Amino acid sequence: MDLWLREGQVSDAVMTYKVKQTLIREKTKYQDLAIVDTYSFGKMLVLDGIVQTTVRDEYVYHEMITHIPLFTHPNPKRVLVVGGGDGGSVKEILKHPAVEKVVLCEIDSEVVNQCKKYLPEISFALEDPRCQILIGDGIKYVREHKDSFDVVIVDSTDPFGAAEGLFGRNFYSEIYDCLTENGIFAAQTETPFYLPGEVKKIYENVKSVFPIAKLFMAGIPTYPSGFWSFTLGSKKYDPQSVDLSSREDINTKYYTKKLHKVCFVLPKFIEDLTR
């Protein structure tokens, strides 16, 4: 008998994956957590029935959410990741030689524990001495650490349920205060194909707080529609005009310095969401 994972993140469409083996499934304090091994995408982290990351395509999401803000900032020494318990964002952040410390604030300790156990290809950088792992409420942590980080990455689940507070204007205002005077923030901000209203609302919230707000895109096969948005908020530096010629190259599979500039060129139906 074939075993299939059926994901229904959006109400009128589903994605299905043929599963080799369920490695773990448990109900944590916050969510239903599963790690499965699939035929098409390898090992896959699934939270509340929604695919978060896979061994095969994780590099797209994690490179774009991190390298766009980190290459935009001239000297990112201290970085905060809110969420991101799988460790993929930390893995990419620590490729930047300027980074001295990464704080990972993840609310669910079991995400960290099980990803360390079953997804070492993604989570291995969590063992790096430059990474500090804190288990707790990211909103509270941001509120209590003003003027503390050069870059803040919000690597969260979708804006429903427990993560809803990570997408509001109040939280973005607190991130602004958490950043240093030339700080930059970036977050995943959903699919403009299925959830254009959410994308527009999030962008407008960021724009109301940061003097520079930019939406950018990436193609992520396992996310609904495969067409995913991120939003950047910056106090000073424009990611489209920054000079990258002197920045040290790093090992990537998706991000390039050329892509850094063109990912902000949006199809018209998405560009309209930012007006």
Distances, alpha carbon 101 to alpha carbons 4, 17, 123, 205, in Å:
40, 37, 16, 28
Is 37 annotated to bind ligand?
no
Tokens found for residue 120: 């070492």
User: Which single residue is written with the structure tokens 């994780």?
Assistant: 58
Query: Is 2 labeled as ligand-binding?
Result: no
Residue 147 annotated as binding site? no
Q: Binding site annotation covers 271?
A: no
Q: How far is CA 260 from CA 71, 73, 83, 178, 264, in A?
A: 9, 13, 24, 25, 8
Instruction: Please tell me whether 145 is known to bind a ligand.
Output: no
137 C-beta neighbours (distance < 10 Å), count: 15
Is 137 known as a binding-site position? yes
Query: In 120-238, which ranges are continuous DSSP H helix?
Result: 120-123, 138-144, 169-178, 196-207
- Expressed in percent and rounded to 5, the helix, strand and coil fractions of the chain are 35, 30, 35
Q: 155 an active-site residue?
A: yes
Do 95 and 250 contact (CB within 8 A), yes or no? Answer: yes
Q: Is 127 labeled as ligand-binding?
A: no
45 token code pair = 């982290």
Active-site option among 155, 177, 243, 249: 155
Residue 28 labelled as part of a binding site: no
Per the annotation, does 138 bind a ligand?
A: yes
Task: Confirm or deny that 86 is annotated as ligand binding.
Answer: yes
Catalytic residue list: 155
> What residues are designated binding site?
31, 62, 86, 106, 137-138, 155-158
Binding-site residues from annotation for S-methyl-5'-thioadenosine = 31, 106, 137-138
